Amino acid sequence: MSAANVLEINDLNFDAEVLKSSVPFLLDFSATWCGPCKVLSPIVDKLADEFQGKVRVGKLDIDDSPGVTTKFGIRGVPTVLVFKSGQESGRHVGVTNKETLIKLLGV
């Protein structure tokens, strides 16, 4: 279950929600079976709350959305991608802290 400010992203809504976003978009690629993803999830939720209005945040389950997962070459989870103006502008693979994700966003 995601926080209120976190969008559920999938193969169907990825282009509309992420690529067409007018503000930076942080997308957390994860899976229900992934232990490290469960560690990162609350950090991503906090970012969504703290940067509401400045950044959009979403989560994508790699098992439910193989199209986007393959398109961006996601080979391990958790992986966080940042998109600005429809382009990937940052990537972090593995568990990290809030500060690293804020730097990745550049906000």
Catalytic positions are: 34, 37
Six-digit token string for 87:
């382009």
Distance CA 93, CA 80 (A): 6
What does the DSSP 8-state code read for residue 24?
-
> Under DSSP, is residue 17 helix (H, G, I), strand (E, B) or coil?
helix
Q: Is the peptide bond before 36 cis (omega within 30 degrees of 0)?
A: no
Distance CA 50, CA 33 (A): 27
Tell me the CA distances in angstroms from 80 to 17, 68, 75, one per residue in order: 16, 13, 12
